[in-house]
Amino acid sequence: MSDDPSRLWSPAEDAPVRVRVPAKVNLALCVGPLGADGYHPLGTVFHALSLHDEVLAAPGEPGEVTLQVSGETSADVPVDESNLAVRAARLLAAEFGTPELGVRLQLKKQIPVAGGMAGGSADAAGALLACSVLWDLDTGPDDLHALAARLGADVPFGLVGGNAIGRGRGDQLVPLLSCGIYHWVLAFAHGGLSTPQVFGRFDEMLEQGRASSGTEVPAEVAEALAKADPFALGKALRNNLEAPALDLRPELAETLAAGRAAGALGAIVSGSGPTCAFLAESESRAMDLATELGRLEQVAATRRATGPAQGARLL
């Protein structure tokens, strides 16, 4: 060990920076036809949920970004440079730091992988905040937002959380005020769905007249949120990617139907799927619903969550 006191970490300094970051569902996901940039213009309402990943950032070797992953949904998460959290740390160091910065990242995952709940995007948002604090960088919310948008369409929302209207690729956000707490049941599927594949099937179905497009967010969603009315919100839920997700995974239609039959106020594929999200009238109704859905063969696991939840924050 070095005798130089400046090279000794006190326990507090040595403790990793910990950030908690939420999953999302889209209360409305209104998708336009494919643009020349390879993306689809969106009008969406993001809603952050109390289903979280945790991102830990500890000092690393100079210039090195390493990653460890643990938790309920850690299988199949890449730990190499392709991981969005690693790319977030690298981008932050390149734009606001120096090449000597290093970090040991750890993800504790609860958000399903390739589940349509923006788990990878959440981890990237968490890594941006955690590394920015660890490295003591001069970054404000707008700086992190700009980097987040470069990493992926859903990453900026991981930073802000709550409810927000998203336009453009989904990265241009306007916070949406809401009242009330909403009770959700999430039904995870066996295996994930690739977001580009679901968008690709959407394009095909649009051409065949089997899907509808449009970026106009239904006013009923914002009205229901303003009135704290879960019944109205349940009826207003909308997702243009549901048709292609069901086309790719027909068994999801049964999951949605079973949730509706068991009393869900609304049932929807989350984002590009395959997770299905069910709005319940109360916590106890959500518990009953989770029990019912958990019996289905095509459901790998169920989780209850409430929304809206805060965006990425330090613990």
Which residues are documented as binding site for ATP? 112-122
CB of 76 to ligand C5P, least distance (A): 17
Q: Answer yes or no: 123 catalytic.
A: no
Question: Which of 24, 109, 123, 171 is an active site residue?
Answer: 24
Cβ-in-10-Å burial (0-12, 13-18, 19+) of 199 comes to middle
Between CA 88 and CA 81 the distance in angstroms is 10
Contact at 8 Å (CB) between 110 and 53? yes
Of 82 and 208, which has the nearer Cβ to ligand C5P? 82
Q: How many residues does the chain have?
A: 315
Nearer residue to ligand C5P within complex by CB, 140 or 196? 196
Which residues are near ligand C5P by CB under 6 A? 39-40, 42, 152-154, 169-170, 195-196, 199
Least distance from C-beta 210 to ligand C5P, angstroms?
Answer: 18
Hey, what are 3's tokens? 């005798």
Ordered DSSP codes for 209-268: TSS----PPPHHHHHHHHHT-HHHHHHH-EETTHHHHHHH-THHHHHHHHHHHTT-SEEE
Gap between the Cα atoms of 44 and 238, Å rounded: 9
| Nearer CB in complex with ligand C5P: 121/178 | 121
**Smallest distance from ligand C5P to CB 282, Å:** 34
Residues paired with 166 in a beta bridge: 44, 173
Least Cβ distance, residue 39 to ligand C5P (angstroms): 4
Closest Cα to residue 255, out of 189, 184, 182?
A: 189
Residue 208 beta carbon to ligand C5P: minimum distance, rounded to whole angstroms? 18
Among the options 53, 123, 154, 171, which is catalytic? 154
Q: Is 108 a catalytic residue?
A: no
Cβ atoms < 10 Å from Cβ of 190? 12
* Phi, psi (deg, nearest 5) at residue 259: -65, -40
| Nearer to ligand C5P among residue 169 and residue 304 (C-beta) | 169
> Of the two residues 152 and 192, which places its CB atom closer to ligand C5P in the complex?
152
The Cβ-side half-sphere exposure at 19, using a 13 Å CA radius, reads 27
**Cβ proximity to ligand C5P, 130 vs 153, nearer residue:** 153
Residues 135 and 148: their CA atoms lie apart, in Å, by: 17
- Residue whose structure tokens are 């594929």: 269
In whole angstroms, how close is the CB of 67 to ligand C5P at the nearest point? 18
Neighbours of 198 (CB within 10 A): 23
Q: What are the catalytic residues? A: 24, 154
